[in-house]
Amino acid sequence: MRTYRIAFAILLFAAPFLAQAQTTDKPNILWIVSEDNSPFIGAYGDTFATTPNIDKLATQGVLYTNAFATAPVCAPSRSTLITGMYPPSMGTENMRSTYPAPDFVKFYPKYLREAGYYTSNNVKKDYNVDQDQEDAWDESSHDATYQKRKPGQPFFAIFNTTISHESCVHKSIPNDQLRHSPAKVPLPPYHPDTPEMRHDWAQYYDKVEDMDTFVGKILADLEASGEAENTIVFYYSDHGGVLGRSKRFMYESGLHIPLVIRFPKKYAHLAPGQPGTKTDRIVTFLDFAPSLLSLAGVPIPEYMGGKAFLGTQNASEREYAHAFRGRMDERIDLVRSVRDKKYRYIRNYMPHKIYGQYIEYLWRAPSMGSWEAAYKAGTLNDVQKKFWETKPVEELFDVEADPHNVNNLAGDPKYAVLLKKMRQANHDYLVEIKDVGFLPEGRMEEISQTTPLFDYARSGKYDVKKVIETAEMASMGDPRNLKELTKKLTDGDPVIRYWAATGCTILGNKAQSAKGTLINLLSDPEVTVRIAAAEALTKLGEKEKAVQTLTEALNSDIQMARVQALNVLEQLGPEASKAFPAVKQLIDHKKKNADYDLRAAEKILASAGK
C-alpha cells in the first residue's frame, strides 16, 4: 500500500508537467490572411509585384501552385473555412445571406480549444451564417494575439489584413504618389487600356506591396516572440481579385489564390516538400479545416467535406477543385465550376444574364466606369467586350496555355470528351452534396426561417437530382426542350416550375407556345415562380402583365423575392415605368443602405433619371 501511495504521489506531482509536455508537443499554427488578391506575388512569377517578405517566406516553405478558394468572394469563402463544409450544401453560398448552418456544425477553432489550443482571431469573421459561436475563440478582436496565451500553451492565431481589399482602389491616389507606374503596369487581355484602368492596377500593386509589408511585420513579431521554431505558418488570400472580372467571377482571376506554408525544422516531417519547393497538389478552402485539425492531432469530424492535405490524417489527393457563385450583392446569378490541374470548366445556369451586371460596390472602382464607357463607345475588341454580353452555357479553358481564361474551348470538337467528363463531374458533385443553391433565394429565405437548408435538403422535400436536371435543361436554351419545359411549368414542385420558367426566359421568343401556361403562373402561390414567369413573359410580348406582377412582388415580405423582381425590372428600363412609384415607395421605407433590395431599387430610379 505504501509503494502504491508513493507512486500515486509521484504521478500526482508529475501530472501538470506531463500535461504541459503533451500539450506543447503540438505545433503552433499561424495564419496570415490577405484579402482580395490573386497571386500577384514575385514567388509566383509576377515580375511587376513588389513582395519581398512573401517571396522570402516561399524560400523557407512550400508554395502551392494549385490552391483555390471555393467562391470568388469573401463571405461565402469564409463560410467554407470556418465550417469545413461546402456552402451550397447548407445554403450559405449567397453573399451576406446568413442562413443557419445545421446544428451539429462547430466552427473549427472550437475543436482546437477543446484540444488545449489558445485560439485568437485578429479580426475578420464574415462567416455568412446566422450564428457567431463566439466561444470558438479565446479572443477575436483588433487586439487579439497569441501572446496572451498561458505559458507553454500551443496556439492557433489568425492575422487578417484588409490592405489589399477591393476598397483600396475606390479612392484614387495621385499618379505622382504611386510607386508602381501606371504606364508600365501589365494589363490582362480582357481589360481595355484606359487611364483609369491603368491607374487602378498600379494603385492595387502598391497596396499588394503594403500588404506584403504587413506580412513581414507579423513574421518579425513571431521571430521576436521566440516561437518561430515551434510554429507552422500559412500565408494565403481569401479569394482572387480585385479589379473587374476577378473578384466575384469564376475564372482563375477570382478563384486561384496564393498559398505558402512554412514548417520549422521541428515539424519538417509534416511538410509536403523541402523548403523552397513547390507542389501542384490541388487544395481548396474545403480542405483547410480538416488539414488544420490533422496538424493538431484532432480527429476530423465526418461532416467536413474536404480532404486533409497535411498532418497525420493526410488524405489522398483530390482530382478536382469545385467552386460556386450565387447571388453577388444585389445581382442574381448561378454558376458552378470544376478545376483539375490543367483545365477549368464553368457551367452557367443563367446564361441570359450578362457577366457585367451592375453591382454598386464593384462600380466604386473608377476602372469599372471606364470599361463600361469604352463598351458603350464601341472601342473594345472581341475579348474585352465579352464581359458586357450574355454568357455561353459552358466554358472550358486550358489554364496552362490560357491563364487569363479568354479562349473558350467548350465548342471545340477536339475537347468534346474532356468537356463531357468535366460536365459529368460537376453534375455528380451537385447531386452528391445536395446543392441547395438551385432553390430560388426567396424560397431559401422562407425555408430557413424554420429549418436549416442542409436539413431541408435531406428531409425528402428536395428532389435534388430532378432539380439539377431541370436547371441543366433550362440553361441549355435548346428549343427542342420546350415541350418538356412547358410540361414542367405545371409540376407540383415550385422549384421545378421556377426553373422551367427560367428556361423559357433563356429561350426568349422561341418559347411562344408556352405563353398561355406562363400567364397562368402569374397567379402561382409561390412568389419566386410568379416573378420567374413574369420575366419569361417580358420576352414574349406581355410586358404590361409582367410589370404588374413584378410591381406586386415588391410588397412581398421576402427580401430576396423583392431583389429578384427588381433585377427583372432593371432589365426592362423605361418599359418598367409603371413600377417606378412602387420602387420609390420601397426606397422611402428602407433605412439600411446595406439592404440589397434598396441598392437594386436605387439603381432603377437612377438609370431612369428619377
Active-site residue list: 74
Give the span between the Cα atoms of 331 and 564, in whole angstroms.
Answer: 8
Give the span between the Cα atoms of 319 and 339, in whole angstroms.
Answer: 8
Using DSSP's 3-state secondary structure scheme, residue 233 falls into strand
Give the span between the Cα atoms of 151 and 19, in whole angstroms.
Answer: 13
C-alpha cell at 2: 505504501
C-alpha cell at 22: 503533451
DSSP state of 315: P
Q: Give which of 382, 381, 429, 419 is closest to 397, Cα–Cα.
A: 419
Angle between helices 441-448 and 559-572 (to 10 degrees): 170
* Residue 368 exposure: Cα atoms within 13 Å on the Cβ side: 20
322 forms beta bridges with 338
Give the span between the Cα atoms of 484 and 473, in whole angstroms.
Answer: 9
CB 587 within 8 A of CB 601: yes
CB 97 within 8 A of CB 91: yes
Using DSSP's 3-state secondary structure scheme, residue 69 falls into coil
C-alpha cell at 35: 484579402
Using DSSP's 3-state secondary structure scheme, residue 374 falls into helix
